[in-house]
Amino acid sequence: MMNNGHPDKLRVMVASRDQEAISVLQAALAERDDCAVQTRPIVNGHADPLHGLNSCPDALVLVLSDGWQQELAALVERAPEQRPPLIAIAEAGDAEAMRMAMQAGARDFLIKPLDRQELNAAIERIAAESRSEPRESRSRDSRVLALINAKGGAGASLLAANLACRMAIESGEEVGLIDMDLQFGSLSTYLDIAPEHGLQEALEISHTLDEVAVGGFTARHETGVRLMAPTEGHSVLNRAPVARETENIIDTLARRFRRVVADVPRWLDDGSAAALSRADRVGMVVQQSVSHVRDATRLQRILTDELMLPADRIVLIVNRHDRNAAVSAKDVEQALGLDSSVRIPNDFKTVSDCVNYGKSLVQFARKSQITRSLGLLEAALEGTEKKKPTSVFGRTLGTILRSHA
């Protein structure tokens, strides 16, 4: 636990614009001998409850009142390792506040008037998590990179598999790869491996899974990739991952591997939304057509307006790039209001041969143009790429599509 001056106690910060609520919570938590309580009134100027702190508390108890949208938005914008576990307290029936709180890392969402037993139970859960998962271990140099199709069949799964393999070979380290499509996941096919125990079982025990145990739910590829994927023989009807389960899984993978690549299904539910929110970068995969751009515009709006991802966390990937297409890559970029894209060349034969042999591109065709483009993709997702400049057609197309999104 990160407890300066209180090495054996959970450091809890209580924050709100409501001073009376702060006093009530401070008194309730003072009865616990395992907590060191700090209070922080939120005043005009900074909506972020954690603004200016040298280190994060072990838990943040946030009482929502006027201005809660700005407060939660500020927490969502923080990197995952800079957000402590959150207990949000609000009025009953506010579904939007609950949704945003979960995006901000809420472990519990409690309803006013506050029940002290519920508060104590929520604190106990965070304390148990802190004991088993020291926060310092989550602050290591790990990154989660997510890929998602803007339109079905755009190629995100193939790129996710081959990106992970390239990263593993180039770094000499194992890379975590997770296929989140419980119904039609394809990464096992692309890599010709299958975990004995898969994603469905890991989700069932996500709250107890640690970085050692998670290895039992992955299969190792010869490149050094560790794949977690759905397995055959498990019913997937009425079994969509919930946000907390998904966060637990991805956080555990991020503690074990310095790099985690997530293949996120286009159909968004609580689980896939949590994965996208948790990712350090999200690669949005499109192809060069008006229908792809239209769907990409809709997905972009969901990512930025509903999941509240900052625009600089979204990377545009133009797959099967064709220099002679009627809609150019630059048109796609400008239609989406983006400055650049990663362009993956169209090489159907090489890709088909790799899939048929169960090999990655970097193994099967290391010197091919499409394999070399994976390096550009990695650089863009890692944030080390060089930006390119910007067609009148693209700006016009973007205006039209955004007005109909």
Does residue 214 sit in the same domain as residue 359?
A: yes
Report the C-alpha gap between 95 and 101 in whole angstroms: 10
**Is 85 buried (19+), middle (13-18) or exposed (0-12) by CB count in 10 A?**
buried
Report the C-alpha gap between 68 and 62 in whole angstroms: 9
Does residue 222 sit in the same domain as residue 90?
A: no
Tally of structural domains, the chain: 2
Does residue 258 sit in the same domain as residue 300?
A: yes
Does residue 95 sit in the same domain as residue 112?
A: yes
Range of the structural domain that residue 202 is part of: 143-404
Domain boundary among 138, 173, 206: 138
Domain boundary among 138, 155, 177: 138
Does residue 188 sit in the same domain as residue 122?
A: no
Does residue 273 sit in the same domain as residue 324?
A: yes
Q: 88: domain CATH number? A: 3.40.50.2300
Does some domain include residue 189? yes
- Sorted by sequence, the CB contacts under 8 Å of residue 321 that are 6+ apart come out as 288, 329, 343, 344, 345, 346
Predicted local confidence at residue 405, as pLDDT: 57
Does some domain include residue 1? no
Q: What value does the mean pLDDT take over residues 135-155?
A: 80
Does residue 236 sit in the same domain as residue 379?
A: yes
Does some domain include residue 3? no
Does some domain include residue 243? yes
Does some domain include residue 373? yes
Predicted local confidence at residue 135, as pLDDT: 43
Summary mean pLDDT of the chain? 86
Residue 125, pLDDT above cutoff 70: yes
Does residue 195 sit in the same domain as residue 68?
A: no
Predicted local confidence at residue 211, as pLDDT: 73
Does some domain include residue 256? yes
Does residue 324 sit in the same domain as residue 229?
A: yes
Q: What value does the mean pLDDT take over residues 124-144?
A: 65
**Residue where the block lists tokens 């299969």:** 219
Q: What value does the mean pLDDT take over residues 79-90?
A: 84
Predicted local confidence at residue 183, as pLDDT: 86
Q: CA nearest 137: which of 212, 246, 62, 76?
A: 212
Q: 330: domain CATH number? A: 3.40.50.300
Does residue 196 sit in the same domain as residue 59?
A: no
How many other CB atoms sit within 10 Å of the CB of residue 346? Answer: 17
Comparing 129-133, 291-295, 306-310, 360-364, which segment has the lowest mean pLDDT? 129-133
Residue 389, pLDDT above cutoff 70: no
Q: Express each pLDDT in 19-57 by its tens digit.
A: 999 999 999 998 998 899 999 998 766 788 998 888 889
Tokens, residue 254: 């991020």
Does some domain include residue 109? yes
Does some domain include residue 5? no
Q: CA nearest 224: which of 175, 178, 157?
A: 175
Max avg pLDDT among 124-133, 148-157, 266-275: 148-157
Does residue 216 sit in the same domain as residue 131?
A: no
Report the C-alpha gap between 317 and 310 in whole angstroms: 17
Domain boundary among 106, 138, 170: 138
